[in-house]
Amino acid sequence: MLGVALGIGVLLALVGCTATEGCGECQPPTENQERTRMGHRIPLTSPLLPVAPQDMVSQLLQRLEGSVNLEEAANPSVLLAMNLAGGDSEGPIHKWLLQEIKEEAVRRAQKDMTSGQVALHVLALLSSCQDPQRVHALEQTLDLIRVLQQKTDEEMAKLEAEGIPKTTLYSVGLDTLALCLAEAGGAQGPSVALAKQVLSPESHISVDTQAMVALALACVYNYVELQDVQDLLWEALWTVSNSFLDEQEKGNGMIGNIYSMGLALQALEATRKFYAPRKWDCAQAFSVVYAHDYQQPMAIAQVLPALVGRSYLDVAGLDCAATKNMSPGRQLPLSPMLGTHGIPRGTPIPPGVAQTPQG
């Protein structure tokens, strides 16, 4: 059982953090690293960080792979987490998931998928080094980005007209993140609306939604050029990240509940410069996660990236040049082997730093 024995002492030994240091200070990122991805130059900030013990990561990867049911629809969140956590990209389960996700997108994206479901499929494909603008399956080719943009426009139209989106703010955050990471050009409008929702005193937004919105806004901030939009996004990111740090202090490491921790840790990792110079006691937060025995696939899928020092923002920085032929294999062994290799970690470096809003 995963418990306190894999807790704070192991984290400190592996990463070298003190109880008062932020995790980012333990292994500072290198500067100006770049990798080519689908014709674009992607800045990388650092290699994969050894945040959690490898045996813990491997066990959670095994549980995630073991949760895959060949009789059910493939879960894009599972494939996304496997890719970010360095799972075996040549394994049969990985190949089956990828092919099923392509086929599901071609069959259902335009018909009955929500915007958030489409966004998750986009993120899963990006993390698998696939082009979501050309999804080929079932003898068809689909532009999944165009579908996502249409569904995001529907969300925004209802949000502007009625004050609530067609589905949820969490979905709109996913949509915005996927559009941004795919460099589709349609993320700025939704990011402004999301930032205003976060800053509204009447909004009562869950930790999970705030975390997803923060990841989306952090991505858009790196590309936006208008100073007033930059300032708005900075203020929203400053607000969310500091509220998480406040809640962690009050909750002895807990942010929301144990199932919120995965996305909350991802958000705090991705927004460090927005709450600087304040320090994040990452050791305290990770000790809470280490003390819990995660069993639910979605909870594992959200916490795994954080355990290897990554967030969903790193989807665009994975090493596509190293990816081999991803054609699906349908013959699955009873006990698939897990890979243990690491892949470079990367988040975009902002083009400029806006002045931190006060308050």
- Three-state SS string over 210-260 comes to HHHHHHHHHHHHCCCCCHHHHHHHHHHHHHHHHHHHHHHHHCCCCCCCCCC
- DSSP state at residue 7: S
First vs last Cα of the chain: how many Å apart?
A: 44
Alpha-carbon Rg for the chain, nearest whole angstrom, is 19
If phi over 0 gives left and psi between -120 and 50 gives alpha, with beta otherwise, what is residue 138? left
Q: What is the pLDDT of residue 23?
A: 52
pTM over 0.85: no
Here the tokens at position 257 are 């509940």
Q: What is the pLDDT of residue 52?
A: 87
Angle at 65 between CA 59 and CA 70, to 5 degrees: 160
> Can you give the pLDDT of all 359 residues of the chain as single tens digits?
444 334 333 333 333 343 333 354 433 333 333 333 333 333 333 334 447 888 999 999 999 999 999 999 999 999 999 999 988 888 999 999 999 999 999 999 999 999 999 999 999 999 999 999 999 999 999 999 999 999 999 999 999 999 999 999 999 999 999 999 999 989 999 999 999 999 999 989 999 999 999 999 999 999 999 999 999 999 999 999 999 999 999 999 999 999 999 999 999 999 999 999 999 999 999 999 999 999 999 999 999 999 999 999 999 888 766 544 333 322 222 222 222 222 222 333 233 323 333 33
Dihedrals phi, psi of 141, to nearest 5 degrees: -125, 130
Here the tokens at position 335 are 């006990």
User: Cβ(22)–Cβ(275) under 8 Å?
Assistant: no
Torsion sign, CA atoms 42, 150, 168, 107: negative
Of 240, 236, 303, the C-alpha closest to 268 is: 240
Using alpha carbons, list the distances in angstroms from residue 300 to 7, 76, 228, 343. Answer: 17, 13, 38, 19
Using alpha carbons, list the distances in angstroms from residue 143 to 111, 119, 188. Answer: 14, 13, 20
Of 262, 257, 234, the C-alpha closest to 247 is: 257
Say how far apart CA 66 and CA 356 lie, in whole Å.
Answer: 45
